Amino acid sequence: VNLLLLEPHEVVEGAATIDGPRAAHLLDVLGVRVGSQVRAGIVDGAIGTARVELVDGRTVGLRCGLSDRVPDRPRVDLVLAVPRPKALKRLWAQLAALGVGTIAIVNASKVERFYFDSHALAPSVYRPLLIEGLAQARDTRVPIVRIERALKPFVEDELDVVFGDARRLIADSAYTRSPFDAVRARKERTVIAIGPEGGWTDFERDLFEQNGFAGVGLGARTPRSDTAIVALLSIVHEALR
Amino acid sequence: VNLLLLEPHEVVEGAATIDGPRAAHLLDVLGVRVGSQVRAGIVDGAIGTARVELVDGRTVGLRCGLSDRVPDRPRVDLVLAVPRPKALKRLWAQLAALGVGTIAIVNASKVERFYFDSHALAPSVYRPLLIEGLAQARDTRVPIVRIERALKPFVEDELDVVFGDARRLIADSAYTRSPFDAVRARKERTVIAIGPEGGWTDFERDLFEQNGFAGVGLGARTPRSDTAIVALLSIVHEALR
């Protein structure tokens, strides 16, 4: 963990008192004592440092010296065919660490219906995992998660509201264009739609293409879906650097 | 699985008989019957198709029509600080799927000694996982794995033999240069050295730099080590496309 993340309600007049896993990490891994400084941030808020004022057993008292600077949202958004629950649980922290502004989890032909009933889609499950990823990447902005069970109306009617004028890409092994080359102008926002293990169907690719998505692919090799997601996000981020 | 991989000894005069998980996959997932064609390859050998000649219970008889074409080794090699065994077991298939020619697993200051005693480093454990990744990516070339417990002599004396004149990169959060930009000429081989969760030490970075490695980093965000490995390999591959 590279950043201690505090919930807004935990910080009162610049002071916070924590116990549990975060306090244990400070005490046992970082070995803090009174006077130590650690990097700290407020969930969806400012970032800065916190000074340890008190250690009482397994409780740590902190005084926060946070800047006014709130990190920008990552410039990459994601439309993701709902992954297998086990894979999704492993993905949440990785997505937050790689940096995603909005994650729209959508339906696709080649996913199993029951994926949507998984508790991996419950905020009580994914929010702590997203925050774990943010702490790793020293970010405070929790990705916005949308669950969209109906792909067609979402793609046809809601994209402008959700993603604004972001460049739109769809990844599939049917396309050969490099995702790096497709992101021409640095600094522009990009949303990338990534299909399920079996890929998007012809109908789905047409739907995305008719709504402004340009096709990109990883080339001849087709890694497993969870690996492909990390690969595609990394390449788009790299192209925006 | 996108490619049925057969061991060389399984194919006798163009015919192979298989049972077990591969036969089950053909029968239950692909639903083959006599006359079906599937993509097939020989481990470390040629690639092509196989025709189902016989289905007898859970046993499948195949006739292979393989080209003379053996896939090239991937142009990316990896020097990797030995990962935590649990993470390494999940990495093997992903590394093979992303495409790595040679994987040198090395020691580093910030790894635990016992990592080297893990059975995740036993060929009987990692080879099936590498082959699983190859089958996913439709490749036949098994990455060459070297276990190097002594970092300094390996970096100082063996790199030319192992990696030839490949471009040498070292990844660490201490560096700001983009890995994409560091790979200038497409088609050239590249070896990238990736440290442990805590990063390389000053000594280790100096050692790599003095032996021709140029420093690159993923930028401000520092994803978990296993995510960073997939990200860095993807970006280098993309830059070589």
ipTM of this complex prediction, to 2 decimal places? 0.84
Interface touch B221/A139, C-beta < 8 Å? yes
Contacts of A55 (CB under 8 A, 6+ apart): A27, A32, A33, A34, A61
pLDDT at residue number A221: 84
Contacts of B80 (CB under 8 A, 6+ apart): B103, B104, B105, B106, B193, B194, B229
- The values of phi and psi at residue A37, to 5°, are -110, 140
Contacts of B233 (CB under 8 A, 6+ apart): A231, B76, B78, B95, B98, B99, B100, B192
Q: Which two tokens stand for residue A31?
A: 């070995």
Minimal Cβ distance to B178: which of A137, A230, A238: A238
CB atoms within 10 A of CB B12: 9
Task: State the sign of the Cα–Cα–Cα–Cα dihedral B108, B113, B119, B123.
Answer: positive
Interface touch B138/A221, C-beta < 8 Å? yes
Instruction: Please tell me the distance from the alpha carbon of residue B177 to that of residue A207, in angstroms, as a whole number.
Output: 38
pLDDT at residue number A185: 67
Per-residue pLDDT of chain A (241 residues; tens, 9 = 90+): 789 999 999 999 999 999 999 999 999 999 999 999 999 999 999 999 999 999 999 999 999 998 878 999 999 999 999 999 999 999 999 999 999 999 999 999 999 989 999 999 999 999 999 999 999 999 999 999 999 999 999 999 999 999 998 999 999 989 999 898 888 766 689 999 999 988 999 999 999 999 999 999 998 888 889 999 999 999 999 998 8
Interface touch A234/B234, C-beta < 8 Å? yes
Q: Which of A238, A240, A241 to mutate to test the interface with B (most CBs of B within 10 A)?
A: A238
Residue B47: its H or E element: strand B47-56
Q: Which of A90, A98, A110, A132 to mutate to test the interface with B (most CBs of B within 10 A)?
A: A98
Instruction: Please tell me the distance from the alpha carbon of residue A2 to that of residue B87, in angstroms, as a whole number.
Output: 19
Q: Which residues of A touch B233 (CB under 8 A)?
A: 231
CA distances from B9 to B5, B18, B67, B141, B240 (A): 12, 12, 17, 16, 34
- Number of Cβ pairs closer than 8 Å across A and B? 92
Q: What does DSSP say about strands A59-66 and A47-56: parallel, antiparallel, or unpaired?
A: antiparallel
Q: Which residues of B touch A234 (CB under 8 A)?
A: 218, 230-232, 234-235
Minimal Cβ distance to B230: which of A220, A231, A241: A231
CB A120 within 8 A of CB A50: no
CA distance B156 to chain A (A): 31
Backbone angle region of B94, left / alpha / beta, with phi > 0 → left and psi within -120 to 50 → alpha: alpha
Q: How far is CA A61 from the centre of its chain?
A: 29
Q: Which two tokens stand for residue A205?
A: 């690719």
Q: Which residues of A touch B139 (CB under 8 A)?
A: 221
Q: Which residues of A touch B239 (CB under 8 A)?
A: 180
Residue A136: its H or E element: helix A123-137
Interface list for chain B against chain A, based on CB atoms closer than 8 Å: 2, 93-94, 97-99, 133, 136-139, 178-180, 218-224, 227, 230-235, 237-239, 241
Q: Which of A48, A44, A50 is nearest to A64 (CA)?
A: A50
Q: Which two tokens stand for residue A17?
A: 């008192």
CA dihedral angle for residue A127, residue A133, residue A139, residue A141, rounded to 10 degrees = -20
CA distance A35 to chain B (A): 24
Backbone angle region of A220, left / alpha / beta, with phi > 0 → left and psi within -120 to 50 → alpha: alpha
Q: What is the pLDDT of residues B48-100, one digit of tens each?
A: 999 999 999 999 999 999 887 899 999 999 999 999 999 999 999 999 999 99
